[in-house]
Copies of this chain bind each other. A is one copy, B any other.
Amino acid sequence: MAMDASEETLRRAMSDKQAAVDAQGNTVRDLKASGAAKADIDAAVEALNALKLEKSSIEKQLQATITGGSDVGTLSRDAFRQAVGNTLERRLFYIPSFKIYRGVAGLYDYGPPGCAVKANVLAFWRQHFVLEENMLEVDCPCVTPEVVLKASGHVEKFTDLMVKDEKTGTCYRADHLLKDFCKEKLEKDLNMDAEKAAELKQILAILDDLSAEELGAKIKKYGIVAPDTKNPLSDPYPFNLMFQTSIGPSGLIPGYMRPETAQGIFVNFKDLYYFNGNKLPFAAAQIGQAFRNEISPRQGLLRVREFTLAEIEHFVDPEDKSHPKFGDIAHLEFLMFPRTEQTSGQSAKRMCLGDAVYEGIVNNQTLGYFIGRVYLFLTQLGIDKERLRFRQHLANEMAHYAADCWDAEIECSYGWIECVGIADRSAYDLRAHSEKSGVPLVAHEKFSEPKEVEKVVIAPVKKELGLAFKGNQKNVVEALEVMDEKEAMEMKSILESKGEVEFHVCTLGKVVTIKKSMVTISKEKKKEHQRTFTPSVIEPSFGIGRIIYCLFEHSFYTRPSKAGDEQLNVFRFPSLVAPIKCTVFPLVQNQQYEEVAKQISLSLTAAGISHKIDITGTSIGKRYARTDELGVPLAITVDSTSSVTIRERDSKDQIRVSVEAVASVVKEVTDGSSTWTDVSWRFPAHSHVSIDE
């Protein structure tokens, strides 16, 4: 059962109504702020309450629709989440890790069906991105020496501000506490004065920019206490989110478990560029584990301490970010949420990707191309396109060096969740590693004919440098030679005025004194045969676990059992992600049927279709329910030795097919070359009215 029309309509209505509620809320506050007449304010508040009532009614209808028409009008987001979670845990899609030892927050195992879904998602990712685009896939270790993560900035900046319960020592994220406080106030206290409301909204807007001192001051000001105990809180202080360790027996090489897979690609840029024939653009990709020692994991499978990332680093000439295949995806239309819509309080809107790039809303074609490819990837997996949007980062969310950044956000019971980040990070990462390692990570563009340019020429006087720095001479020479034009001209002017200059040599980790006699710096006209530049990198980064969790929620529904006495759970996974493609059930336990089942199993194996035989003696109805809970698209029931039935999970329709033909029919449907509707025309329907189900 694909999402039906009424569900789609209700979702649209919900989203519209939410926007209306938000807008009316603003009107009420504005009226108060402008000192409007009490009667006007009261009327506006009344209108607001009416809108809220309407929204709540739509919400109830929607919940009822999602849950298959059952009478659970009061099923809240929490109850829905609980229902999905129970099914997932009972059928071992996932298991809290180390459960027999009472587990560890933020760590989960994938059990057999979850593991199969994950393997399918990753195989499709490889197919859709790596193979389709000829990307260079690499596989780097998780253990990473400190120097790499110092260069990337993680050692210094990959922190969250933390506060401790002063009595129990329990740790909390300071920004979460302040955010929760502001949101609750704004939602519940409608009679708050306008000034206060504006203040709280302002805090929410700048939350990510607040320093430890500012956060601490606000926590004090509002009297925020530990949520569990109401005890006072410590001042906020930074906590680095990387798991730290030590490499080798000496204890002298600090290391971390990587917080992302990207750095492994950046440090290999030089070799990968060579491998690609010294040509741009090209992309490298990596799938692997990443680690974040979250202060207090919440949101179940969405915020975990170890997770699988799939990352792409697409290296491109900063002067040409066009993409040859942009035309393939320019026609796509989907929900986008540009910066201006966010800051002006509007909602996400359906846009054509080609227009968004043409109008400059998306910074460049390559970034746009990946947004389109990510859209196709997620919707083909089974993510509901009405609950998927691409949200542009606000200016204060983005790193200073980033050119543009869009998150693929998926709506689930926890709200809109960032599942893929697609960022144009300009030349930041390669520059950072060039500087720290002293190895230039650059690309070249050969000119068809030489160009005359004015260039700074830096000529270190090796004899003088050798006398002054002995064994360190080489490092100093190299550091002088890699100065950019601005640095070199500054040095030249200081040397001319003062005769010497302090100079920081990265690779030595110290400052040395350079005298005028040690280097000559001049500007010369030169013929250049090529341009040397640091490539920009466009990085789509996929949180595989988050995507899978959202997929679970979007695929889940319940429907009443035949007797109507219980709700049955179904995952409407597309064949692509279903943990197995079909099950084989001998109707009753007898040798003949089991032989036929084995024969079918062999032909399914030969056709490369993952499947399982279930020869337990339980009723066929129970076996169907079990297979529906695992999201298996097709079930074959052996009820004769010549022909069998194939049942489709969501329609529950059955067709009768000869034993010889069954594998090829299942293959057609599960590999997508035919739809279920196509094949059900070709074969006789099996009566629904049977004692079986």
Q: Taking beta carbons and an 8 Å cutoff, which residues of A are in contact with B?
A: 92, 95, 97-101, 104-105, 107-112, 114-116, 118-119, 126, 131, 134, 136-145, 147-148, 162, 169, 171, 239, 243-250, 253, 255, 257, 264, 267-268, 270-272, 275, 277, 288-289, 291, 293, 295-296, 305-306, 433, 436-437, 439, 441, 610, 612, 616
When C-beta atoms are compared, the residue in chain B nearest to A103 turns out to be: B145
B293 and A171 within 8 A (CB) = no
- Shortest C-beta distance, A602 to chain B (Å), equals 12
What CA separation (Å) do A193 and B255 show in the bound complex? 50
On whether A275 and B244 interact (CB within 8 A), knowing A110-B138, A268-B99, the answer reads no
Whether A143 lies near B107 (C-beta < 8 A) is yes
Closest to A110 in B: B139
Q: List 7 A-B contacts (CB under 8 A).
A: A95-B138, A97-B140, A111-B136, A116-B137, A171-B248, A249-B295, A277-B616
Contact A104 B247 (CB under 8 A): yes
- Decide: B137 and A115 in contact? CB cutoff 8 A: yes
4 closest A-B pairs by beta carbon, nearest first, are A110-B139, A100-B437, A171-B249, A100-B439
B169 touches A250 (CB 8 A): yes
Do the beta carbons of A245 and B244 come within 8 Å of each other? yes
CB nearest to A297 among chain B residues: B248
Contact call A291/B104, Cβ cutoff below 8 A: no
CB proximity of A636 to chain B, nearest CB, Å: 17
- Please state if A267 and B143 are interface contacts (CB–CB under 8 Å): no
Is A249 a contact partner of B239 (Cβ separation < 8 A)? yes
B116, B293, B441: which contacts A247 (Cβ < 8 A)?
Answer: B293
Q: Which of A139, A249, A610, A612 has its CB near the most chain B CB atoms (within 10 A)?
A: A249
> Please, how many angstroms separate the alpha-carbon atoms of A119 and B108 in the complex?
24
A122: nearest residue on chain B (CB-CB)?
A: B119
B-side contacts of A245, CB under 8 Å: 243-245, 257
Given B95, B134, B143, B249, which contacts A271 in the complex, CB threshold below 8 Å?
Answer: B95
**Chain B residues with CB under 8 A of A136:** 111-112
Given known A-B contacts A98-B145, A148-B101, A111 and B257 have beta carbons under 8 A apart = no
A676 to B263, CA, bound (A): 43
Rounded to whole angstroms, the CA-CA distance of A267 and B293 in the bound complex is: 22
Q: How far does the alpha carbon of A271 sit from the alpha carbon of B272 in the complex, in Å? A: 44
Is A141's CB under 8 angstroms from B275's CB?
no
Q: How far is the CB of A254 from chain B (nearest CB, A)?
A: 11
Query: B143 near A98 (CB under 8 angstroms)?
Result: no
A563 to chain B, nearest CB (A): 24
Contact assessment for A138 and B162 in the assembled complex, using a CB-CB cutoff below 8 Å? no
Among residues of B, the one whose C-beta sits closest to the C-beta of A434 is: B100
Residues of B within 8 A of A289 (CB): 142, 288-289
User: How many whole Å from A435's CB to the nearest CB in chain B?
Assistant: 11
With a cutoff of 8 Å between Cβ atoms, the chain B residues found around residue A92 in the complex are 271-272, 275
Beta-carbon contact of A139 and B171 below 8 Å: no
Given contacts A100-B433, A118-B139, A243-B246, 4 further A-B contacts (CB under 8 A): A105-B248, A111-B271, A143-B291, A239-B249
A115 close to B139 (CB less than 8 A): yes
The one of B138, B148, B248, B293 in contact with A98, judged by C-beta atoms closer than 8 angstroms, is B148
**Pick from B104, B137, B141, B291: contact of A112, CB under 8 Å:** B137
- Name the contact of A437 in the complex, choosing from B101, B143, B239 (C-beta under 8 A): B101
Cβ-defined contact, B138 with A270, below 8 A: no
Whether A95 pairs with B249 at a CB distance below 8 angstroms is no
A190 to B296, CA, bound (A): 66
Closest-CB distance, A498 to chain B (whole angstroms)? 35
Residues of chain B lying within 8 A (CB to CB) of residue A268: 95, 99, 109, 111
Q: Is the Cβ of B306 less than 8 Å from the Cβ of A142?
A: yes
Question: Are A249 and B109 in contact, CB atoms less than 8 angstroms apart?
Answer: no
Alpha-carbon separation in the docked complex, A94 to B455 (Å): 38
| Contact A143 B243, beta carbon cutoff 8 Å | yes
Determine whether the beta carbon of A97 is less than 8 Å from that of B264. Answer: yes
Q: How far is the CB of A186 from chain B (nearest CB, A)?
A: 28
A140 touches B264 (CB 8 A): no
Enumerate chain B residues within 8 angstroms of A246, measured Cβ to Cβ: 243-244, 293
Q: Are A267 and B141 in contact (CB under 8 A)?
A: no
A600 to chain B, nearest CB (A): 15
Q: A441 to B99: give the CA distance in the assembly, Å.
A: 13
**Cβ A98 vs Cβ B267 within 8 A:** yes
Q: How far is the CA of A437 from the CA of B126 in the complex (A)?
A: 40
Q: Name the B residues within 8 Å of A275 (CB-CB).
A: 92, 111-112
**Residue numbers in B under 8 Å from A145 (CB-CB):** 98, 101, 104
Query: For A272, what are the chain B residues with a Cβ–Cβ distance below 8 Å?
Result: 92, 111-112
Report the minimal beta-carbon distance from A442 to chain B, rounded to whole angstroms.
Answer: 13
Nearest B residue to A244, CB-CB: B245
A267, B100: Cβ atoms under 8 Å?
yes
A616–B264 Cα distance when bound, in Å, is 28
Q: How far is A270 from B98 in the complex, measured between Cα atoms in Å?
A: 12
- Chain B residues within an 8 Å CB radius of A143: 104, 107, 243, 257, 291, 305-306
Name the distance in Å between A258's Cβ and chain B's nearest Cβ: 11
Residue of B nearest to A172 (CB): B249
Distance of A166 Cα from B264 Cα, bound (Å): 36
* B contact residues around A247 at 8 Å (CB): 104, 243, 293, 305
CA distance in complex: A433, B270 (Å): 48
